[in-house]
Amino acid sequence: MILLRNIWGYAYSSDEDVVACIARMLPILAVSFFVDGLSGSLSGVIIGCGKQKIGARVNLGAFYLVGIPTAVLLAFVFHLNGMGLWLGIMCGSISKLALLLWITLHIDWENEAIKAKHRVLGSSVQA
């Protein structure tokens, strides 16, 4: 995506301004895809541990307290327009990733393994 950013825009428009805008935005989009992929994996870890409420709070905080206000500020106050919107949402994604990573690193994995064992043994059906 990044290597072909100067060509990619021609798939959508022949207008040089549109192609240039797409070329500027694609590196931001590529980083956003990478961060979202990692966040999705860490969200799965949090959900797998039965901590869905924590994951929901992280999402709300990251996007409503960080991402959207930053996007509005960058786009409309600093006049970065569409790039500001994407950068703001990416700030929300990065804050989500940081929070999920911190939570994942501070999980008591031995306790989680014990809880998982009890769930498996408690749900077994006897014939």
Domains of the chain by residue range: 29-106
The predicted model scores a pTM of 0.85
Annotate 10-50 with DSSP letters as a single string.
Answer: GGT---HHHHHHHHHHHHHHHHHHHHHHHHHHHHHHHHHTT
What digits encode the pLDDT tens for the residues 76-123?
A: 999 999 999 999 999 999 999 999 999 999 999 999 999 888 888 886
Quick check: 67 pLDDT over 90? Answer: yes
Identify whether the C-beta of residue 76 lies closer than 8 Å to the C-beta of residue 84.
Answer: yes
